[in-house]
Amino acid sequence: MILLVDDKSENLIALQKTLESRGFTIDTALTGEEALKKVLKNTYELIILDVQMPLMDGFEVAEAISGYSKTADIPIIFLSAVNVSKEFITKGYASGGRDYLVKPFDTDILVLKIRTFIRLNQVQQSLQREIEQRKLAESRKDEFLSIASHELNTPLTSVKGYLQLAEISLKKQQIDQTKMFLERSQKQVNKLNNLVADLLDTTKIESGKLKFNYDHFEVKTFLENAVDNIYLSYPGKKIQVRGDDLTGISIYGDEDRLEQVLLNYLSNAIKYAPQSDEVMVDVHITPEQHLQIRVTDHGIGISSERQEQVFEKFYRVEESSSRFQGLGMGLFICAEIIKRHKGTYGVESEIGKGSTFYFSIPLIPEIAELN
Ligand code: ADP
C-alpha cells in the first residue's frame, strides 16, 4: 500500500485515482500529523509527500518517519509545485527522501519510479533478512564449536591422565591398578568415539548421505541387546521392560540405526534423571502393525514450550544445559532415523516429574518408500 500525503484534497483525489488505475492500493492523509499516525499503525511500501503543508511541512514529516525504526526504510518521494529550487531539492534528500519531483510531472515516469523504489526496497529487505539469518547461524556455529571442543577435550584429557597413571602403575608392577586405569581410559575413548560418530552422522544427514542397511530382524532380541548395552554402561540402573509379548515378531529396518535411537532415548532417560535409578520401557504392537516403544524416566522433565524443539539440531534446553554434558545432536539423529523408517516420534513431559520419549515404526513398511 502507498500513502499519499497532501493538504489539498483535490490533489490527493486526483493522484489517488491515477495510481489506483495503475493497480496500486492507496491510502491518504491530509496533514503531516495524520500521516505520522498512519505510518506507525499501518504498513506502507512507499510514501508520496507534498512539501508545502501547514503546521508540519513535508521535510519535517520525512525526518520524523526516518527516525522511527519501524518506518525508517520506507521510500519517500517528494512532490512540489512551489519549492523547486536546488536548495529545497537538497533539503528533500537530506531529510530522507529518495526522490524529489517537481509538478507538473509525467504520470508514467512517476509510476516507473514508484515500481523501482518498491522493488529496490524489497531487495534491500530480503538482503537484510539474509544477513540477520547468517549472523544467527554464525553465532550458533561459534557456540557449537566452543561446546564441541570442550566436549571432545574433556574425555581426551582424562585418557591422557589415565594412561600416565597406568604407565606409573605398570612400572611399579601394580597389575590390578594398571588394569583399572586402562579400563577407565577405555570408557573415555568410547565416549570420544560416540561423540565423533554423532558429529559424522550429523554431517551426513546435512549432505543427504546417511546410509541405511535394511533387513528383517527379531524385535525381542533387538530390545534385549539394547537393554544389555545400557546395563554395561550404567551398571547401577534398572530398566523395566513392559508390554506385549514379542516372541516371533520381526521387523524390517536398519537394526543398528534403530538400536542407536533406543540407546539414545535410554541414555538420555538416565542422564536427565540423576535422582532416579529406574527407567521404564513400554513396548506395543499397535493394531496398525507398528512397533511402538516408549521410554519413561522420572527426571527433570521438559517444559511444554521446549518440547517441540528438542529434536532440532544442536538444540539443548537452556535451563539445564550447564548441568548436563551434551551437544544436542542425539535426538536430531534419532528423528532422522525414525523418519527414514517412515515412523513417528515425540515426547510427553512435565517439569520436575519426568519425560516419555516415544517412537513408532511400521513392522513391514512399504519397501519402495525406504531409501
Ligand atoms: P544432548 O543430550 O547431547 O544435549 P539430545 O539431542 O540427546 O542432546 O537432547 C537434546 C536436549 O533435549 C537435551 O540437551 C536436553 O535438554 C533435552 N532432553 C533430552 N532427553 C531428555 C530427558 N529424558 N529429560 C529431560 N530433558 C531431555
- The response to whether residue 166 sits with its C-beta less than 6 Å from ligand 1 reads no
Query: Looking at per-residue confidence, does 319 or 172 come out higher?
Result: 172
pLDDT reported for residue 114: 95
**Residue 284: pLDDT over 90:** yes
pLDDT reported for residue 19: 96
- The response to whether residue 296 sits with its C-beta less than 6 Å from ligand 1 reads no
Question: What's the CA-to-centroid distance between 198 and ligand 1, angstroms?
Answer: 14
Confidence grade of residue 81 (pLDDT, cut at 50, 70, 90): confident
**Closest atom of ligand 1 relative to the 297 alpha carbon:** 23
pLDDT reported for residue 88: 86
Confidence grade of residue 9 (pLDDT, cut at 50, 70, 90): very high
- The response to whether residue 295 sits with its C-beta less than 6 Å from ligand 1 reads no
**Closest atom of ligand 1 relative to the 300 alpha carbon:** 25
Enter the C-alpha cell of residue 106. 509525467
Pocket test for ligand 1, best of 195, 271, 310, 333 (most atoms within 8 A of CB): 310
Give the chain as a 3 state SS string: CEEEECCCHHHHHHHHHHHHHCCCCEEEECCHHHHHHHHHHCCCCEEEEECCCCCCCHHHHHHHHHHCCCCCCCCEEEEECCCCCHHHHHHHHHCCCCEEEECCCCHHHHHHHHHHHHHHHHHHHHHHHHHHHHHHHHHHHHHHHHHHHHHHHHHHHHHHHHHHHHHHHHHCCCHHHHHHHHHHHHHHHHHHHHHHHHHHHHHHHHCCCCCCCCEEEEHHHHHHHHHHHHHHHCCCCEEEEEECCCCCCEEEECHHHHHHHHHHHHHHHHHCCCCCCEEEEEEEECCCCEEEEEEEECCCCCCHHHHCCCCCCCCCCHHHHCCCCCCCCHHHHHHHHHHHCCCEEEEEEECCCEEEEEEEEECCCCHHHCC
**Closest atom of ligand 1 relative to the 299 alpha carbon:** 24
* CA gap 67, 128 in Å, rounded: 19
What pTM was estimated for this model as a whole? 0.69
Pocket test for ligand 1, best of 147, 317, 320, 356 (most atoms within 8 A of CB): 317
Query: Looking at per-residue confidence, does 92 or 269 come out higher?
Result: 269
